[in-house]
Amino acid sequence: WLLIGVLVPTGLVLWGTTPTMVSYAQQLFPRGAGVASAMTMGLAWGVGGLIEAPFTTYFQDLSKPQLAVWAFLPFLIVASIGAMFLPKAGGEAE
């Protein structure tokens, strides 16, 4: 039950940000909302997959897959800092 108690909130946090980021991209590019949505999801999942695969493979080969979590920490820090510099989204589409 402990694993489920940890995985469910983690999944909600990770997948719960997707609609927010898609909405943010659509507000930044109101005339190209479909393209903004596709780029947001495609880049996020594509780059995430490209980063995740070699890390997990490497740490599984070491028989220490739990260390992969720590390897992702620098990416989370860079993403958090980068998010602070995102432009403000407008409230209304022009």
pLDDT at site 61: 93
pLDDT at site 62: 92
pLDDT at site 91: 56
Residue 94 lies in a domain: no
Residue 36 lies in a domain: yes
Instruction: Give me the average pLDDT of each 10-residue run along the chain (94 residues).
Output: 81 81 86 89 88 89 87 86 84 52
The count of domains in the chain is 1
pLDDT at site 90: 67
Give the range of the structural domain holding residue 50, as residue numbers without chain letter: 2-83
Residues 79 and 30: their CA atoms lie apart, in Å, by 24
Residues 94 and 86: their CA atoms lie apart, in Å, by 20
pLDDT at site 11: 81
Residues 47 and 72: their CA atoms lie apart, in Å, by 13
pLDDT at site 92: 56
- Please choose, from the candidates 39, 49, 40, the residue with its C-alpha nearest in 3D space to the C-alpha of residue 20: 40
